[in-house]
């Protein structure tokens, strides 16, 4: 990520308050403390996104034990249809947690990319969100990032298709959308030298996972990640940390304030 720090973002006026009128339309929990991530390898690469997120949450919440409160259930290569969400959300099914305040659903990378896949994604998102809401928990959708070269399914402006289907499904089901995919897109457009993927063009590298965790943090707590001290015990450089926090702040501010 060298030679990309000459240009910094002009921070948005509203960067310290991300809860816009659009965000308030969703059935959003108030400062959730028990959180379950459900998805695939996009979540467990880079020492698992939930591990980074819980350490950020520990900075934000008072008397908070992230290890006991934030869990992750992943299946490599899984789509939404592959997850037994009804079982996962049962009381004490995962550790001693009786009920998760928030459950975050991450779909497969190719689910938004064809009409048939989008129909299937929409069906299972609705099914899972309904089960989550009936259990008394809140639901969120984790917008995946687009492929980059050299992945065989790379296409220019693929993020528009991903953004459109996640936003529609989120609105249709009263579920918060976490715009991770938009954060990656902003990063690549404004900082061409940045690298957020492994060489396969699909899985996030450590910087990509850190950016995703910052985006989740900003989306669900309505608070800018700028200023968080957590840097994965020094593995994320100070320059990278600041830049990635700024990108997450810009993506969430843009998504929730400007609308889609």
Q: What angle do CA 6, 146, 170 make, to 5 degrees?
A: 110
pLDDT of residue 260 exceeding 60, the answer is no
HSE-up of residue 248 (Cα within 13 Å, Cβ side): 33
Of the candidates 164, 157, 182, which has an alpha carbon nearest to the alpha carbon of residue 111? Answer: 164
Domain ranges of the chain: 21-258
Confidence of residue 156 (pLDDT cuts 50, 70, 90): confident
Separation between Cα atoms, residue 41 and residue 108, nearest integer Å = 9
**Is residue 201 a contact partner of residue 147, using CB atoms and an 8 Å limit?**
yes
pLDDT of residue 26 exceeding 80, the answer is no
Separation between Cα atoms, residue 179 and residue 31, nearest integer Å = 18
Instruction: Enumerate the β-bridge partners of residue 39.
Output: 74
- For the ranges 147-156, 235-244, 249-258, the lowest mean pLDDT is seen at 147-156
Domain topology for 21-258: Rossmann fold (3.40.50)
User: What is the per-residue pLDDT across 203-231, written as a single tens digit (0 to 9) for each?
Assistant: 999 999 999 999 999 999 999 999 999 99
SS3 at position 256: helix
SS3 at position 103: strand
What is the pLDDT at residue 154?
Answer: 85
Confidence of residue 153 (pLDDT cuts 50, 70, 90): confident
Confidence of residue 147 (pLDDT cuts 50, 70, 90): confident
Separation between Cα atoms, residue 42 and residue 131, nearest integer Å = 23
pLDDT of residue 23 exceeding 60, the answer is no
Q: Write the DSSP symbol of residue 144.
A: P
Three-class secondary structure assignment of 84-95? CHHHHCCCCCCC
Sheet holding 138-142, edge to edge: 70-74, 35-39, 102-106, 138-142, 176-178
- What whole-number percentage of the chain has pLDDT above 90? 82
Q: What are phi and psi of 77, to 5 degrees?
A: 75, 10
For the segment 25-33, the average pLDDT, to the nearest whole number, is 69
Please return the burial class of 89, using the count of CB atoms within 10 Å of its CB with bins 0-12, 13-18 and 19+. Answer: buried
What is the pLDDT at residue 60?
Answer: 96
**Is residue 203 a contact partner of residue 46, using CB atoms and an 8 Å limit?**
no
Return the CA Rg of the chain: 17
Q: Treating both helix axes as pointing N-terminal to C-terminal, what angle do 49-60 and 206-221 enclose, rounded to 10 degrees?
A: 40
For the segment 179-185, the average pLDDT, to the nearest whole number, is 98
């Amino acid at each position: 990520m060298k030679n990309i720090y000459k240009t910094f973002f002009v921070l948005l006026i509203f960067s310290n308050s991300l809860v816009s009128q659009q965000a308030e339309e969703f059935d959003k929990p108030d400062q959730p403390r028990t959180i379950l991530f459900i998805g695939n390898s996009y979540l467990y690469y880079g020492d698992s996104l939930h591990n980074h997120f819980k350490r950020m949450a520990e900075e934000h919440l008072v008397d908070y034990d992230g290890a006991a409160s934030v869990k992750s259930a992943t299946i490599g290569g899984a789509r939404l249809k592959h997850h037994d969400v009804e079982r996962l959300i049962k009381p004490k099914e995962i550790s001693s947690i009786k009920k998760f305040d928030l459950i975050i659903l991450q779909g497969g990378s190719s689910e938004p990319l064809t009409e048939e896949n989008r129909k299937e994604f929409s069906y299972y998102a609705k099914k899972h969100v309904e089960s989550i809401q009936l259990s008394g928990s809140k639901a969120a959708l984790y917008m995946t990032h687009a492929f980059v070269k050299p992945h065989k399914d790379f296409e220019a402006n693929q993020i528009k298709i991903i953004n459109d289907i996640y936003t529609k499904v989120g609105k249709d089901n009263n579920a918060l959308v976490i715009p991770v995919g938009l954060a990656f897109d902003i990063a690549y457009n404004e900082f061409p030298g940045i690298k957020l993927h492994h060489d396969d063009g699909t899985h996030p590298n450590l910087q990509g996972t850190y950016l995703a965790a910052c985006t989740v943090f900003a989306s669900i707590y309505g608070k800018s990640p700028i200023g968080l001290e957590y840097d994965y015990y020094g593995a994320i450089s100070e320059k990278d940390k600041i830049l990635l926090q700024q990108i997450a702040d810009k993506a969430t501010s843009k998504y929730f304030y400007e609308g889609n």
